Amino acid sequence: MQRHDAGVVLAPGDTTAVFEIYIKTTPERLWEAITDPKLRAKYTFGVETHSDWTPGSSYTSGVPGVIDIAAGENIEVDPPHRLVQSMNALWSDEARAEGTSVVTWEIVPVGDSCRLTVTHDQLRPDGNGEIYGGWPMILSGLKTLLETGESLTTPGSLRFAGAAA
Amino acid sequence: MDEVFKALADPTRRELLDRLFERDGQTLSALEEPLSMTRFGVMKHLKVLAEAHLVTTRKQGREKLHFLNPVPIQLVHERWVSKYARPWAETLTGLKRELED
C-alpha cells in the first residue's frame, strides 16, 4: 500500500512501537511545533525540549530545576520532513535502566493535512512500556494544539505545567 | 472517526488488535495462525484496520510487520472523556504543586 511508504526499515529482531496521526496543518508548522521549546511544552506535559537542531547536535528535555525527562542526539535533521533522535529516558531509575532507544519523526503532506509518524525503535525487548507509553497522549495533544490552538486538559497532560514557575 | 468505529465493530478485528496489543510487530502469517480463517480473510480485516489507521506496517528485511497504532483510540478518549477528566487533572496538578511547595 502506497501510503505506508515511510522510510523506516527495521533491523532484524528490533523491538519497535509505531504511532501515526493525521493533523490538519502544514509540514512547516508541524516542524515548528516539534522543535520550538515553548510550543512543544504545551503538549508534552509542560516539558521543554532544547536543542539547536543541527545534525549531530544534542538535545535535552525537562523542566529546569524540577525534572530531567530525556536527552540524546539529533542523528538526522531534515526540516520539515524527518528527524531521527537517540533517546535516553531520565525521569526515573527504571527509565534510565532502559538504555538508549531511537525516535524517528516523519512528516508526509497528505492533501490539506500531514501524516506524522513517530517510530520508536531499538527498545529493550520486554522492556518498560513507560518509555514509549506517552506517545498517544503527546500526539493527540499536538493535534489539538495545531488544529484548535488549545492545550489538552486530560489527567497528566498538565503534570509539569507551571512547575518551573 | 467513522472508520475507527466501523473497524472496531467486528470481533475478529478486535481480536487482531488484542493480539498486536499483546505482542506488537507481527507478520500476516503469525496473525492468521490462531484464527480459523483464510489468509485472504485476515488480509481483508487488516486492510479495514489500516484504513482506520489502527494498524500500521513496517518492513523488516523481507517481512512486513503489523503494529497497533493506539492514537485514534486516544482521540476517541479525548473527545468524550476530557470534559469529565478536567477537574481531576486540575486537582491533581494543584495537589502536586501543594506537595512540592
What one-letter code names the amino acid at B80? W
Cβ A117 vs Cβ A19: under 8 Å: yes
Q: For a pLDDT cut of 70, what percent of chain B falls above it?
A: 83
From the list A8, A153, A162, the residue facing B82 with the nearest CB is A153
- pLDDT on residue A123: 94
Q: Is A27 exposed, middle or buried (0-12, 13-18, 19+ CB in 10 A)?
A: middle
CA–CA separation, A10 vs B63, rounded Å? 10
* Torsion angle defined by CA atoms of residues B50, A18, A111 and B82, in that order, rounded to the nearest 10 degrees: 90
CB contacts of B65 in chain A (<8 Å) are 10, 16
ipTM above 0.90, yes or no: no
What one-letter code names the amino acid at B59? K
A92 compared with A7, residue with greater pLDDT: A92
Is the model's pLDDT at A161 over the cut of 70? no
B86 compared with B79, residue with greater pLDDT: B79
CA–CA separation, A41 vs A69, rounded Å? 12
Q: Bin A59: left if φ > 0, else alpha if -120 < ψ < 50, else beta.
A: beta
Distance of CA A14 to the CA centre of its chain: 19
Tens of pLDDT along A110-137?
999 999 999 999 999 889 989 999 999 9
CA–CA separation, A33 vs A39, rounded Å? 5
CA–CA separation, A4 vs B58, rounded Å? 8
Q: Which of residues 33-92 of B touch A (CB under 8 A)?
A: 50, 53, 56-61, 65, 67, 69-71, 73-75, 77-78, 81-82, 85-86, 88-90, 92
pTM of this structure: 0.85
Here the cell at position A24 is 490538519
Tens of pLDDT along B13-43?
999 999 999 999 999 999 998 888 889 999 9
Q: Which of A16-30, A89-103, A144-158, B23-37 has the lowest mean pLDDT?
A: A144-158
